[in-house]
Chains A and B, each alone.
Chain A
Amino acid sequence: MLSYILTLLPSILEGLVMTLKVFFVTLVLSIPLGVIVSIFRLSRFKPLSKITELYIWVMRGSPLMLQIVFIFFGLPIVGIAFDRFTAVIIAFVLNYAAYFGEIFRGGIESIDRGQYEAAKVLGLSPYRTFMRIILPQVIKIVLPSISNEVITLVKDTSLVYIVGLGELLRAGKIASNRDVSLVPLVLVTVAYLLLTAIFTVAFNKIEKRYSYYE
């Protein structure tokens, strides 16, 4: 049994690399984009806020898998063709930025208006007020919700199968179909559990580090 698991490891690890690539690139790009989305969404310039609302509705309201399909297979019809990985990243970043945007919006709105007024009285520019006063508090408020999304993202990475990219779950399915056994799928489940355990611990650490103003 153990020797069988050992033969599975190389292909599972190869799938894990793709899963982690999708995961980290998406995370690094979509969190900052989410901040921008939340600012646009809260903008007093109505058209911008409305367009952002529409974007959030489309991204959260339709399956991510179909968004990948449209970006990879649909856009070439109008002459925009991406390679597989790029298409997947664009879809994931746009999708997750919408979720992160709403999380940040909730965080920003929970900050007392009085703080803006106080900052104004102290002569801080709106940009500095946001960056130095508001955002640090927002980060600490939204961290639990962000970690929730991050865990979801780990598992959503399996959706890249639709453009044929070989990630963790696909590696498991290949081995499972070849060897006619459930063991590869059990192994894949363990891999996902390990990943989420690592990220849970990491987020607990980050939350502790950001437990300022208390």
Chain B
Amino acid sequence: MKGKKIFILFALLVLSIFGLVGCAKKAVSGGESKTVIMGLDDTFAPMGFRDENGELVGFDIDLAREVFGRNGYEVQFQPIDWSMKETELNSGNIDLIWNGYSITEERKEKVAFTDPYLENRQIIITLADSDISSKSDLAGKKVAVQNGSSTLDAIYKEPEIVESFDGGEPVLFDTNHEAFMDLEAGRVDAVVSDEVLARYYIQQKNPEDYRILDEDFGSEEYGIGLRKEDKELLEMINSTLNEMREDGSFDEIYEKWFGDNDK
């Protein structure tokens, strides 16, 4: 009798596996529907992250809600892993990447970018008591950078400086936060990071503990990434963002998140 029960259990198991396969959904591609799915890394403060109540908040979230609200679209926010963003976009799981997404030549080959909506420098941050005051002082020092970020691309535009680092290359971390923690622990001497991120981080901590160097590794621009064929959506976002700059609502959202930062 027990054998039969186990047999039935197996049968149920096999059925449930088929059941799971049956759940397979076809990827929905954006376009006609009035819903867009926006992909974001929900660990990315201050552009898009979760507050204490688990609600998505951030500069990009507010901006996107306004842009799509004005056009009668509904936005769904889909958390993604940042390393998978272009794959998510091109496989149709999401319709746009809008999350402090820097415009680079490599990315332009894969995705269509809107006009830039925010400028962001690649700044160098050290502890306040550090003797580093310029890029050339980084020679022989340990420098931390987020892996897979555009900061990494930016510093390699000046390869002679990267080669002068201790070890001839930057120390790579999964997130900026980890890079900063290593700076505080004294295991690295400087962090190169997005200005937006770094300023948010320093604000949360004690601003007097850090120094931002005057020199930087160039600036970059944030854009919104879409599939190349979604031209109408791209036009719509561009014109609405322009509209928002003119009527002042863009500045309002900017001030809410970046306050009196000098940029």
Binding site for B on A (CB under 8 A): 7-8, 10-11, 14, 29, 32-33, 36, 69, 73, 76-77, 80-83, 86, 89-90, 93, 127-128, 131-132, 135, 161-166, 170, 173-180, 182
Q: Is B233 an interface residue (CB 8 A)?
A: no
Q: Which of the four size classes fits the interface of chain B? A: 35 or more
**Distance in angstroms between the alpha carbons of A80 and B11 in the assembled complex:** 24
- Interface flags for B16-54 (1: CB within 8 Å of A; 0: not) read 110010011111000000000001001111000111111
User: Hey, which chain B residues are within 8 Å of A8, CB to CB?
Assistant: 52
Given A32-B9, A73-B91, CB of A164 within 8 Å of CB of B50: no
Give the contacts of B64-93 with A (CB-CB under 8 A): 78-81, 83-84, 87-88, 91-92
CB atoms of B181 and A182 under 8 A apart: yes
Nearest opposing residue in chain A for B204, CB measure: A180
CB atoms of B20 and A177 under 8 A apart: no
A29 contact from B3, B17, B49, B79, Cβ within 8 A: B17
Q: Is B205 an interface residue (CB 8 A)?
A: yes
Given A132-B2, A164-B79, A177-B45, CB of A29 within 8 Å of CB of B13: yes
Nearest opposing residue in chain B for A132, CB measure: B3
**Distance in angstroms between the alpha carbons of A7 and B49 in the assembled complex:** 16
| Residue of A81, A83, A165 with most partner-chain B CB within 10 A | A81
CB atoms of A76 and B175 under 8 A apart: no
CB atoms of B43 and A174 under 8 A apart: yes
A9 to chain B: closest CB distance in Å?
Answer: 10
**Distance in angstroms between the alpha carbons of A162 and B85 in the assembled complex:** 10
Nearest opposing residue in chain A for B94, CB measure: A164
CB atoms of B43 and A170 under 8 A apart: yes
Nearest opposing residue in chain B for A176, CB measure: B177
Can you give 8 contacting A-B residue pairs, CB < 8 Å? A10-B53, A76-B27, A81-B91, A82-B25, A86-B24, A164-B39, A174-B50, A180-B180
A25 to chain B: closest CB distance in Å?
Answer: 9
User: Hey, which chain A residues are within 8 Å of B44, CB to CB?
Assistant: 177
B86 to chain A: closest CB distance in Å?
Answer: 10
CB atoms of B54 and A14 under 8 A apart: yes
A73 to chain B: closest CB distance in Å?
Answer: 5
User: Hey, which chain A residues are within 8 Å of B13, CB to CB?
Assistant: 29, 32-33
Nearest opposing residue in chain A for B53, CB measure: A10
User: Hey, which chain A residues are within 8 Å of B181, CB to CB?
Assistant: 182
Nearest opposing residue in chain A for B55, CB measure: A11
Given A127-B3, A179-B204, CB of A86 within 8 Å of CB of B23: yes
A190 to chain B: closest CB distance in Å?
Answer: 19
**Distance in angstroms between the alpha carbons of A69 and B83 in the assembled complex:** 11
A143 to chain B: closest CB distance in Å?
Answer: 17
User: Hey, which chain A residues are within 8 Å of B23, CB to CB?
Assistant: 82-83, 86
User: Hey, which chain A residues are within 8 Å of B39, CB to CB?
Assistant: 164
B25 contact from A7, A14, A77, A83, Cβ within 8 A: A83
**Distance in angstroms between the alpha carbons of A80 and B27 in the assembled complex:** 9
- Interface flags for B157-200 (1: CB within 8 Å of A; 0: not) read 00000000000000000010100110000000000000000000
A154 to chain B: closest CB distance in Å?
Answer: 21
Given A86-B24, A179-B204, CB of A10 within 8 Å of CB of B43: no
Given A10-B53, A177-B43, A179-B204, CB of A162 within 8 Å of CB of B81: yes
Q: Is B10 an interface residue (CB 8 A)?
A: yes
User: Hey, which chain A residues are within 8 Å of B53, CB to CB?
Assistant: 10-11
User: Hey, which chain A residues are within 8 Å of B3, CB to CB?
Assistant: 127-128, 131-132
**Distance in angstroms between the alpha carbons of A128 and B6 in the assembled complex:** 11
User: Hey, which chain A residues are within 8 Å of B257, CB to CB?
Assistant: none
CB atoms of A164 and B78 under 8 A apart: yes
Q: Is B250 an interface residue (CB 8 A)?
A: no
User: Hey, which chain A residues are within 8 Å of B254, CB to CB?
Assistant: none
A167 to chain B: closest CB distance in Å?
Answer: 11
User: Hey, which chain B residues are within 8 Å of A131, CB to CB?
Assistant: 2-3, 6
**Distance in angstroms between the alpha carbons of A81 and B9 in the assembled complex:** 28
CB atoms of A81 and B27 under 8 A apart: yes
CB atoms of A82 and B54 under 8 A apart: no
A95 to chain B: closest CB distance in Å?
Answer: 14
CB atoms of A178 and B50 under 8 A apart: yes
A134 to chain B: closest CB distance in Å?
Answer: 12
